[in-house]
């Protein structure tokens, strides 16, 4: 009974904070008020205040994490509706996905090694640049810890979504496909949501790149585990 009450409270508070934050962000369009930034900060503060552990919170809200799977698949709908765009640029998209996937894995692992982080963190960071359902599937083969993988993946997505516009501006990236591919490859679901805010073309490309990068990472996960450690 206690677990049921705690589960309901965690669910209610999470949804209440998110939708309240979303309403606030529509009125005041500031970076730090983004729902994927402010809501987790408030939740962490509440968990620390009420002495509810992160592991307990995740267990009670496990089904919300499961919903990421159907949500990710939903991104395939606009991709299917824009197959002509994919056929036209299939070569550059394929090259971009391959390069982005390899760079994401290698840079994550090498950075963790440079900072002398434990091997479990290295393995968990290796798959941080793909969306959570794919990351958790790849983590089982790489040897990462699911909680850490989910945490690193969320942080990566939020950070990429937050600084993406600044990076594009600094690098003078103006092409819609380049922006979409960059957000999809580096910050998965959160980046794809931001790409759709930019425009339909950016969103479609971001969706495609996000899914292809996720599938590719899962397929090569055994090789990552074999040759990186």
pLDDT confidence band for 1 (50 / 70 / 90): low
**53 Rama class: left (phi>0) / alpha (psi -120 to 50) / beta:** beta
Residues 72, 7: Cα–Cα separation, whole Å: 24
Answer yes or no: is pLDDT of 97 > 70.
Answer: yes
- Mean pLDDT confidence for 170-180: 89
- Mean pLDDT confidence for 69-78: 73
Which of 9-18, 26-35, 44-53, 116-125 has the least mean pLDDT? Answer: 26-35
Contact 38, 21 (CB under 8 A): yes
Q: What is the pLDDT of residue 228?
A: 84
Residues 43, 40: Cα–Cα separation, whole Å: 5
Q: What percent of the chain has pLDDT over 70?
A: 97
Q: Is 176 exposed, middle or buried (0-12, 13-18, 19+ CB in 10 A)?
A: middle
| pLDDT tens per residue, range 134-171 | 888 888 889 888 888 888 888 898 888 888 888 898 98
Which of 13-17, 32-36, 45-49, 112-116 has the least mean pLDDT? Answer: 32-36
């Amino acid at each position: 009974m206690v677990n049921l009450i705690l589960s309901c409270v965690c669910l209610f508070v999470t949804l209440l904070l998110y939708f309240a934050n979303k309403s606030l962000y529509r009125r005041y369009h500031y970076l730090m008020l983004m729902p994927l930034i402010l809501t987790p900060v408030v939740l962490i503060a509440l968990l620390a205040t009420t002495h509810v552990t992160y592991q307990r919170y995740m267990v009670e809200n496990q089904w919300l994490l499961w919903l990421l799977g159907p949500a990710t698949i939903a991104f395939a709908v606009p991709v299917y509706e824009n197959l002509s765009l994919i056929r036209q640029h299939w070569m550059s998209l394929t090259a971009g996905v391959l390069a982005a996937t390899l760079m994401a894995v290698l840079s994550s692992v090498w950075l963790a090694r440079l900072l002398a982080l434990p091997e479990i963190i290295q393995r968990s960071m290796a798959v941080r640049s793909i969306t959570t359902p794919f990351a958790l599937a790849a983590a089982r083969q790489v040897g990462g810890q699911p909680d850490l993988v989910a945490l690193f993946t969320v942080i990566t997505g939020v950070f990429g979504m937050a600084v993406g516009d600044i990076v594009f501006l600094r690098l003078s990236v103006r092409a819609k496909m380049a922006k979409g591919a960059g957000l999809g490859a580096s910050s998965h679901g959160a980046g794809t949501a931001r790409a759709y805010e930019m425009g339909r073309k950016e969103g479609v490309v971001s969706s495609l790149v996000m899914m292809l990068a996720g599938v590719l990472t899962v397929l090569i996960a055994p090789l990552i585990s074999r040759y990186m450690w």
